[in-house]
Amino acid sequence: MSLISIGPPAFDVDVALAYATSDNFTGRPVYGRAECWLHPEAARHLGRAVRLAEALGLRLRIFDAFRPQEAQWILWNHTPDPEFLADPRRGSPHSRGVAVDLTLVDAGGRALDMGTAFDAFTPLSHHGNTGISPEAQKNRYLLQGIMTTAGWDFYASEWWHYQLFGAQRFPLLSDSVLATSMMG
């Protein structure tokens, strides 16, 4: 299985992989290398989303994409919450290379207000939550419109998570599919 590297110049996105830093819910880096990868089919859909955002003067900031099974176990062992994390025994769309966590940024690189931070594991993170500001609600709907128009499915509990329809048809992948380990 060959995954596609996601980043400039091929993809005009801002890659800010949260799990390659300690700025994530575990409080420590999960990935040894900050590399962004997707299955070729997911990469095509992401390219469509990039173009749709660009037409509005916006860019996508990616927090996570392919997540090796090894990383999924680390996250699950830290916070085994099935509302926000896939049980690695079942498998995550991220570990299949067909999911992306992201937000929108303006021309100056500032993230649009989405009402919560990425990986805020609360009901305020749910799509359609009206307990956030009207501006944040609009921004979430904008992101959802861009992503669903580009062919992505959304996950109701996380405004930032999008995956290909029928994600289970793709195989689970470990770090060994990459030429250089992400877990490193």
Indicate the pLDDT class of residue 184, thresholds 50, 70 and 90: confident
pLDDT (0 to 100) of residue 153: 98
**Rounded Cα–Cα distance for residues 165 and 6 (Å):** 20
Query: Is the torsion defined by CA of 128, 90, 102, 31 positive or negative?
Result: positive
pLDDT (0 to 100) of residue 131: 98
Quote the pTM value.
Answer: 0.96
Ordered domains of the chain (ranges, CATH): 4-177 (3.30.1380.10)
Query: Do 180 and 4 contact (CB within 8 A), yes or no?
Result: no
pLDDT (0 to 100) of residue 1: 61
Catalytic residues: 158
Strands (E), the chain: 4-5, 14-15, 37-38, 59-64, 99-105, 152-155, 158-164
Section 99-107 average pLDDT = 98
